[in-house]
Amino acid sequence: MVKKILLISTGGTIASIQTKDGLRPGLTAEELLGYVPEVKAVCSVDILQLCNIDSTNMTPAVWTDIVSSLRREYDHYDGFVITHGTDTMAYTSAALSYMVQNSRKPIVITGSQRPINIDDTDARTNLRDSILYACDDYSEDVVLVFDGNVIAGTRAKKMMSRSSNAFYSVNFPVLAKIMDGRIIRYLPYQPYTKPVIFQEQMSDSICVMKLIPCSRPEMLGYLFENYDCIVIESFGVGGIPDRLMNEFYTEMKRWADKGKFIVIATQVVNEGSNMEIYQVGHKVKKDFRLIEAYDMTFEATVTKAMWLMARYPGSSHQFRSHFYETINHDVLCAEE
């Protein structure tokens, strides 16, 4: 039986055209598909033009539109391919991993570093590979396909701003390679048995505080006052600088029982956090049972917090108890 694939286009470089002010998305989903006519030999592809934006302009509202479309069309197709700009693609692939779970059907996100309508583009290969992967019987869940790599949706990170090998799988192996039209898998196939679930809402009451050597303590009060979740990008394996410690304790005690959350992440891409190693992290973690990102990507950390806050508004117990549940390979070494 011929597989049916739905191509959902959101814009990005892959769909861009040159203007006097630089590249902007302008090609339609139908035009994108016209550059890979060979896929007609392996599947039937329908198209949905959801939007046509630079991924710098990606928002949770667009994620909701994507998930609503997936929910509406889920029973009508064997797989889904979403074209997207590369700048926020890792956020979207992580967000969709939480918003659509237990999907036995593949949801593939792809894009390119160069527009599909130029000669030396990487777009045609990425789009062709993505459709091929979406057609395979052993494909499932949310993945990002780029430069021949199949990456779990929660593990992708853009590491190159211009090169074709832009995305890496962080702290987790690639799921598969696609070479010359062949899919080479590295992990055993474990099909989902639970029904697919969709959640269309994400909380946006979240901010990031990236520590630098001159971070000011008064920032903490403002952030606690205005956001329900603060993700602190700490140094190394994680800790709070002495100059912030007094204010940190004051604000934590003030907001701890009011549904506010702190998640400690690290600015270092690989190997993750562990606040218990150094004195600057050990005591403060124990005193407030701080939530750590451990080996999660930053994008997965942020979007998982957004998903949990929307699912369990104001519940610190539910937030904490579900943060370390592994979803689409997102966390492996949590010690909670």
Average pLDDT rounded to a whole number, residues 226-234: 94
The string of DSSP letters for 209-233 reads EE--TT--THHHHHHHHH-SEEEEE
End-to-end CA separation in angstroms for the chain: 46
pLDDT tens across 168-195, in order? Answer: 999 999 999 999 999 999 999 999 999 9
pLDDT, residue 87, reads 97
Contact criterion met (CB below 8 Å) for 97 and 330:
yes
CB-CB contact of 112 with 85 (8 Å): no
Q: Which residues partner with 183 through β-bridges?
A: 178
Comparing 9-13, 48-52, 73-77, 187-191, the range with the smallest average pLDDT is 187-191
Whose CA is closest to 55, among 82, 81, 83, 84? 84
Q: Which CATH superfamily is domain 3-198 in?
A: L-asparaginase, N-terminal domain (3.40.50.1170)
CA distances from 12 to 180, 240, 263, 316, 331 (A): 25, 38, 30, 37, 29
| pLDDT tens digits for range 39-55 | 999 999 999 999 999 99
Catalytic residue positions, numbered? 13
Backbone angles phi, psi at 296, to 5 degrees: -70, 150
3-state SS assignment for residue 5 = strand
Query: Domain boundaries in the chain?
Result: 3-198, 206-323
Instruction: Give me the pLDDT at residue 334, please.
Output: 59
Helical (H) or strand (E) element with 190 = none
How much is the pLDDT for 253?
86
Per-residue pLDDT at 104 exceeds 60:
yes
In the predicted structure, residue 288 carries a pLDDT above the cut 70: yes
Mean of pLDDT over the chain: 94
Beta bridge partners of 214: none
- Please state which architecture CATH assigns to domain 206-323: 3-Layer(aba) Sandwich (3.40)
Q: Are 218 and 243 in contact (CB under 8 A)?
A: no
The confidence band for 256, taking pLDDT boundaries of 50, 70 and 90, is confident
Average confidence (pLDDT) over 297-315: 94
Q: What value, to the nearest 5°, has the Cα angle with vertex 317 and ends 311 and 322?
A: 55
Q: Please, how many CA atoms are within 13 Å of residue 99, restricted to the half-sphere of its CB? A: 26
Question: Dihedral angle at the C-alpha atoms of 115, 116, 117, 118, nearest 10 degrees?
Answer: 60
Domains 3-198 and 206-323 share a fold: yes
Q: What is the pLDDT of residue 279?
A: 82
Q: What is the pTM of this model?
A: 0.95
Both tokens of 160, joined, read: 């190159």
Q: In whole angstroms, give the CA distance from residue 260 to residue 334.
A: 21
| pLDDT tens track for 141-172 | 999 999 999 999 999 999 999 999 999 999 99
3 CB-contact burial (10 Å; exposed 0-12 / middle 13-18 / buried 19+):
middle
